[in-house]
Amino acid sequence: MTSKPVPVIVLAGFLGSGKTTLLNHLLRASRGTRIGVVVNDFGAIEIDAMTVAGQLGDSTVSLGNGCLCCAVDASELDVFLDRLTRPDARLDVIVIEASGLAEPQELVRMVLASENERVMYGGLVEVVDAAEFDATLERHPEIARHLGIADLVVLNKADRVDDAAGQRLRERIRALGGGALVSATYGRIDPELLFECRPRGERVGQLSFEDLREEEDGDGHQGGDGHPHGQAHDGHLHAAYESVSFTADEPLHPRRLLDFLDSRPEGLYRIKGFVDFGALDPRNRYAVHAVGRFLRFHPEPWPAGERRQSGIVLIGSGIDSAALRKELDALPVAGPQDAPDEHTMWGVLRFVPDVPEGS
């Protein structure tokens, strides 16, 4: 059996923007998902949280020797990724928390250059301090470039600015040409924006940090940030984005699917699912993974007894759900007269990672 590739997310942002707070939130709210972490400063992370958050003891790589983008090259990063993606580690996602002075594009380049077949790029998340953004950008204009290449921008500490200032900041950040934008307080974003959360019933034999929090909540305790947990979660987080689900019993037309993916609108952050191309490849279904501007297809044999249909989920902020559904409804093959030529699969295969020799 082939294991699914592990998404590698780059978490960047200037000093004090709230990267570690956001990371710790992901660890707490992981819902049983196993998260591996690459960090610069081991002491900046809540070690206890990682230890009981359903992780293995060696699921963290610490780099205390300076900025990650300067301390290692792609081959060295591969050593760390190889350790974290061992099948026996059973990690679901890896987060690289960059130094506050790192160059995000270099980290993205290293992930994309990885020769590890068990990883895939999971996107660049840039965290911004809403209260300090103007002053920080004035002192460090290169941050505009970082925002321009981000797949997701988190406007953190949104509670520290009023509504008018928040709206102005969002407009200014969007003008820099980055990806989807969400606002957050205390780094609280829904983990589903970044990775597939493991269902509660699929524990890996270890108590999760979320379970411990629920036990504490039952005793009336509060979390480490001083806020009752009941105020922090689903409704508030899910309000920041929308999702559109699509299924089709007929195979999808490769050319129309690629046209749709090439023209995906600003704010559409993630696309995930499985695609049936019918007679063009009857043995395989194609897992589709898109984050920001990044796109990959992964063919895999149809599971025995699996119903052959396509299912795609779109996640974004400020998207036109009705328009997207209309475009999705046009993707299935309409009948024999609409049957795609086999050459239309070439476009899809351009986004399939190279298959190593001998596999």
pLDDT tens for 22-52 read 888 888 777 678 888 877 543 333 333 333 3
SS3 177: coil
Residue 336: Cβ within 10 Å count: 6
Mean pLDDT in consecutive groups of 10 residues from the start of the chain, 359 residues: 77 86 82 75 37 38 40 66 81 82 82 87 92 89 90 92 93 84 89 76 40 39 35 39 88 96 84 93 92 86 91 85 94 94 92 59
- What ranges in 72-132 are assigned the alpha helix state H? 74-84, 104-112
> What pairing do the DSSP bridges indicate for beta strands 284-291 and 268-275?
antiparallel
Widest CA span in the chain: 65
Of 2, 12, 4, 3, the residue nearest 110 (C-alpha): 12
Q: In the 8-state DSSP scheme, what is residue 199? A: P
CB atoms within 10 A of CB 204: 15
Q: Looking at residue 101, what is its pLDDT?
A: 66
Q: Cα dist. 322→42, 245, 318, 325, 333 in Å?
A: 45, 11, 12, 5, 21
| Tally of CB atoms within 10 A around 223 | 16
d(CA 195, CA 200): 15
Residue appearing with tokens 């997310």: 9
Which residues of 51-118 form beta strands (DSSP E)?
Answer: 60-62, 93-97
The pTM assigned to this predicted structure is 0.70
How far CA 150 is from CA of 21, 71, 168, 267, in Å, comes to 19, 22, 19, 11
Bridge partners (DSSP) of residue 180 are 152
Q: What is the pLDDT of residue 33?
A: 81
CB 9 within 8 A of CB 150: no
Instruction: Quote the pLDDT of residue 243.
Output: 82
Residue with tokens 């295969």: 349
Cβ contacts of 326-333, under 8 Å, gap ≥ 24: 327/260, 328/244, 328/246, 328/260, 329/246, 330/256, 331/248, 331/252, 331/253, 331/256, 331/257, 331/260, 332/248, 332/249, 332/250, 332/251, 332/252, 332/253, 333/250, 333/251, 333/252, 333/253, 333/278
Q: What is the model's pLDDT at position 74?
A: 58
| Structure tokens belonging to residue 209 | 């940090």
Query: Which single residue is written with the structure tokens 């993916």?
Result: 261
Residue 29, pLDDT score: 79
Contacts (Cβ under 8 Å, ≥6 apart) of 158: 130, 166, 183, 184, 185
- What pLDDT, on a 0 to 100 scale, did the predictor assign at position 278? 95
C-alpha atoms less than 13 angstroms from C-alpha of 21 in its C-beta half-sphere: 20
Residue 16, both tokens: 């004090």
Pairing type for strands 119-129 and 35-39 reads unpaired
Write down the pLDDT at residue 156: 94
Backbone φ/ψ region at 50: left (φ over 0), alpha (ψ -120 to 50), beta: alpha
CA distance 17 to 99: 11
